Amino acid sequence: MNNLDVRTGFRSLGRGLPVLFLAIGELVLFCLFVTAVSLIGIGLGVLLVPALAVAVRAVVNNSRRNAARWSGRTVEEPYLPAPAAEPGLKGQWQRTHWVLTDPATWRDLAWMLVNPVVGVVLALSPLVLVVGGLGGMLMPAIYRPIADAGENYYLWVEISDLTSAWYAAALGLVTLLAGLAAGPALLRAHASLARTLLTPTRTAERVRRLTDSRSDAVNTSAAELRRIERDLHDGAQARLVALGMNLGVAEQLLAKDPEAVRAILADTRKASAAALTELRDLVRGIHPPVLADRGLADAVRALALDSPLDVTVNADLTGRLEAPVESAMYFAVAEALTNAAKHASPTTVSIDLWHEGGALRSQVVDDGQGGADPSRGTGLRGIERRLAAFDGLLAINSKPGGPTTLTMELPCALS
Amino acid sequence: MRVVLAEDLFLLRDGLVRLLESYDFEVVAAVDNGPGLLQALLDHKPDVAVVDVRLPPTFTDEGLRAALEARRQVPGLPVLVLSQYVEQLYARELLADGSGGIGYLLKDRVFDPDGFVDAVRRVASGGTAMDPDVVAKLFAKELHRDGPLSRLTPREREVLGLMAEGRSNAAIAQELVITERAVIKHTSNIFTKLDLPPSDADNRRVLAVIAYLK
């Protein structure tokens, strides 16, 4: 047994007692909760269940935190998001319904029953073994009163004289060492028991991810609509008002001062051209014309032509994809290209597009300076969010010094 | 001069017909959809066609495809494509067959009737009319690369831009308010600096310049 193991062995001793106390609390709450559920029939349960659920979750979350600390891996909360709070009895009923229909609630209950039995045995064993072992080792010093009382055993050794006391001491040493040695493994077993019952199931995890990405998508599109509204209001709309005013003035001046009218009309023409340019840019930001005309491959080729960088495009796509997926991938690639131009100062960029295994994939490789970090730039986060809205993924490989490879994937069918 | 016009929005079609007729063009057919356009082009074989990119029934690049198909069947058929947006991708497809009589302009250019009609005539006579936006994008990319383009003086770059749009020496001289002789001097400098084969025909010149830029 090396030093590290001894230390973790000793550390595991201290963890048995918190598990025991938590388990007692959990057992009590289990009884209360089950009682509350049985009272739903007479109405009282509707008041009690949501309140008790809060307590249950708080206590079980303690077990989650312990399991996370001892296993070194985070344990996510699996609960479904709470419904919008409504006042009165209706709200109470909705909350009760929410608690009882969440599979995580029932898994919590299972945990509250299993932990006081199996969990406590696992977590408390190291401490029990070590304390018991110490007791055995003390036997040679304290054996006399024990032997005098007669019929006393340390494990299977009857304590009758000094020889048997030394025998017990040796046995105690072995027990103590066994407790220290088994401690970390037992604690790991406890943590993995906790993980199986307390972490979100795959479905719950997926629901949570989808809920997050959906609310992201809703927020992004709301922000986008606001931007479009503002652009139209301050841009084209304002210019059209000015156009109308100019034309009104021109009408007034027509008889008196034809020269001035000529100047006003020239201005008006310029203003209408500017309004058109603004509208064109706006439309391009909403849905690029080539994407609508030709689909993703040509749209990305057009993007490459417009980019100041040297971009090669290899597209292996036959048929059209679903429009929203096409658009998401287009803007993700566009963002990746902008990002590369802005931060990496590459000389060449290559873009690959292909469809494989029920997913649309793209890879953007630049030979710039690398070191791209999604936690710093908003660009990469933006790409991630854009893809997440369609259950897609972004993988970044960017060593300092480059090259940088962005791999993007969107599940979709090819039509 | 006989013109076939394709534009699906009634107001614009009407306006274009009136504009062209006021400059003594004869609009022999004004259609509002892609298949109709192809038929009209093949039936009338006009002196020039003015075509909107986006047409029914698909409302995608129907007009562009009909024009390309008509030129495949009637090589060199002059077509001026109008669009709410210009794409280098489409410009290249239009120029790809290497014969002249091609125009690609933003719809806004109609705001300047003289300039627009000049472009239509240029295309009809086998020349080229590229939108300044297309040319500007080509330039931006080339300048970013720090290529030979950066060796040109700003004036030479201006001349090159107008050349790429398809303007004649006389037109460039008028636009820049310099003599035609000065324009010729600039163009020969440009061709030397960029290592391009000298060429007098405006159309061949455009192709050389565009080929160089991409």
Q: And the tokens for A258?
A: 């034809």
Write down the mean pLDDT value for chain B: 88
CA distance B60 to B56: 8
Are the Cβ atoms of B61 and A276 closer than 8 angstroms? Answer: no
CB contact at 8 A, A59 and A65 = no
Residue among B83, B89, B90, B116 with most chain A CBs within 10 A, to mutate: B89
How many CA within 13 A on the CB side of residue A378? 0
Nearest to B88 among A277, A294, A302 (CB): A302
Say yes or no: B21 and B80 in one domain.
Answer: yes
Residues of B in contact with A305 (CB under 8 A): 87-89, 92, 137, 141
Say yes or no: B126 and B139 in one domain.
Answer: no
Are the Cβ atoms of A289 and B88 closer than 8 angstroms? Answer: no
How many domains would you assign to chain A?
Answer: 3
Secondary structure tally for chain B: helices H, strands E: 10, 6
Say yes or no: A149 and A183 in one domain.
Answer: yes
Chain B contact for A59 (CB, 8 A cutoff): no
Residues of A in contact with B84 (CB under 8 A): 276, 280, 283, 289
Q: Which residues pair with A397 in a beta bridge?
A: A405
- Residue span of the structural domain in which A130 resides: 3-198
Query: Which CA distances in Å does A73 have to A5, A386, B101?
Result: 20, 28, 69
Are the Cβ atoms of B84 and A289 closer than 8 angstroms? Answer: yes
Q: Tell whether A203 is covered by a domain.
A: no
pLDDT in tens, B111-129: 888 999 999 999 999 888 9
Point out the domain boundary residue: B95, B130, B165.
Answer: B130
SS3 B31: strand
Query: Which CA distances in Å does A24 have to A29, A63, A119, A188, A193?
Result: 9, 12, 11, 21, 17
Chain B contact for A275 (CB, 8 A cutoff): no
CATH number of the CATH domain containing B197: 1.10.10.10
Long-range contacts of B193-202 (CB under 8 A, 24+ apart): B193/B148, B193/B151, B193/B152, B193/B156, B194/B148, B194/B149, B194/B152, B195/B148, B202/B122, B202/B127, B202/B128, B202/B163, B202/B166, B202/B167, B202/B168, B202/B169
Say yes or no: B148 and B56 in one domain.
Answer: no
Write down the mean pLDDT value for chain A: 85
Residues of B in contact with A277 (CB under 8 A): 108
How many domains would you assign to chain B?
Answer: 2
- pLDDT given for residue B203 in this prediction: 61
Say yes or no: A273 and A313 in one domain.
Answer: no
Say yes or no: A11 and A56 in one domain.
Answer: yes
Say yes or no: A218 and A346 in one domain.
Answer: no
Are the Cβ atoms of B88 and A306 closer than 8 angstroms? Answer: yes
Q: Tell whether A363 is covered by a domain.
A: yes
Nearest to A272 among B90, B92, B111 (CB): B111
CATH number of the CATH domain containing B94: 3.40.50.2300
pLDDT in tens, B135-187: 888 787 777 777 777 888 889 889 988 988 888 889 999 999 999 999 989 98
Chain B contact for A300 (CB, 8 A cutoff): no
CATH number of the CATH domain containing A315: 3.30.565.10
Q: Is the pLDDT of residue A1 over 50?
A: no
Q: Is the pLDDT of residue A3 over 70?
A: no
Say yes or no: A156 and A94 in one domain.
Answer: yes
Angle formed at CA B194 by CA B189 and CA B195, multiple of 5 degrees? 95
Q: Which residues pair with A408 in a beta bridge?
A: A362, A394
Point out the domain boundary residue: A177, A198, A219.
Answer: A198
Say yes or no: B22 and B106 in one domain.
Answer: yes
SS3 B26: strand
Say yes or no: B149 and B90 in one domain.
Answer: no
Q: Is the pLDDT of residue B37 over 90?
A: yes
Q: What interface predicted TM-score (ipTM) does this complex get?
A: 0.84
Point out the domain boundary residue: A238, A255, A286.
Answer: A286
- Residue span of the structural domain in which B93 resides: 2-130
Q: Is the pLDDT of residue A173 over 60?
A: yes
Average pLDDT value for residue range B48-76: 92
Say yes or no: A194 and A242 in one domain.
Answer: no
Point out the domain boundary residue: B130, B151, B181.
Answer: B130
Q: Is the pLDDT of residue A82 over 60?
A: yes
The torsion angles phi and psi of A77, rounded to 5 degrees, stand at -75, 135
Say yes or no: B106 and B21 in one domain.
Answer: yes
Say yes or no: B74 and B144 in one domain.
Answer: no
Q: And the tokens for A34?
A: 């089950």
pLDDT in tens, A211-233: 888 888 888 888 888 888 888 88
Say yes or no: A76 and A224 in one domain.
Answer: no
Percent of chain A whose predicted confidence (pLDDT) is above 90: 16
Q: Tell whether A240 is covered by a domain.
A: yes
Q: What's the DSSP call for residue B109? A: G
Higher pLDDT, A382 or B81: B81
Say yes or no: A19 and A168 in one domain.
Answer: yes
- pLDDT given for residue B124 in this prediction: 94
Chain A contact for B142 (CB, 8 A cutoff): no
The answer to whether the bond into B57 is cis (omega within 30° of 0) is yes
- Residues 1-60 on B with a CB inside 8 Å of A are 53-54, 60
CB contact at 8 A, A108 and A64 = no
Q: Which of these ranges, A62-71, A169-178, B35-44, has the smallest mean pLDDT?
A: A62-71
Say yes or no: B55 and B138 in one domain.
Answer: no
Say yes or no: B114 and B141 in one domain.
Answer: no
Say yes or no: A66 and A168 in one domain.
Answer: yes
Say yes or no: A265 and A166 in one domain.
Answer: no
Point out the domain boundary residue: A158, A173, A198.
Answer: A198
Q: Tell whether A77 is covered by a domain.
A: yes
pLDDT in tens, A99-134: 888 888 888 888 888 888 888 888 888 888 888 888
Q: Tell whether A204 is covered by a domain.
A: no
Are the Cβ atoms of A293 and B54 closer than 8 angstroms? Answer: yes
Say yes or no: A371 and A347 in one domain.
Answer: yes
Say yes or no: B58 and B119 in one domain.
Answer: yes
- pLDDT given for residue B213 in this prediction: 64
Q: Is the pLDDT of residue B207 over 70?
A: no
Residue B28: band (very low, low, confident or very high) from pLDDT cuts 50, 70, 90? very high
Say yes or no: B23 and B121 in one domain.
Answer: yes
Q: Is the pLDDT of residue B201 over 70?
A: no
Q: State the sign of the Cα–Cα–Cα–Cα dihedral B144, B147, B153, B159.
A: negative
Are the Cβ atoms of A310 and B89 closer than 8 angstroms? Answer: no
CA distance B19 to A16: 92
Chain A contact for B193 (CB, 8 A cutoff): no
Q: Is the pLDDT of residue A284 over 50?
A: yes
Say yes or no: B113 and B170 in one domain.
Answer: no
Residue B202 class from Cβ within 10 Å (0-12 exposed, 13-18 middle, 19+ buried)? buried
Q: Tell whether A105 is covered by a domain.
A: yes
Q: Tell whether A44 is covered by a domain.
A: yes
Say yes or no: A142 and A174 in one domain.
Answer: yes
Point out the domain boundary residue: B108, B130, B152.
Answer: B130
Q: Tell whether A317 is covered by a domain.
A: yes
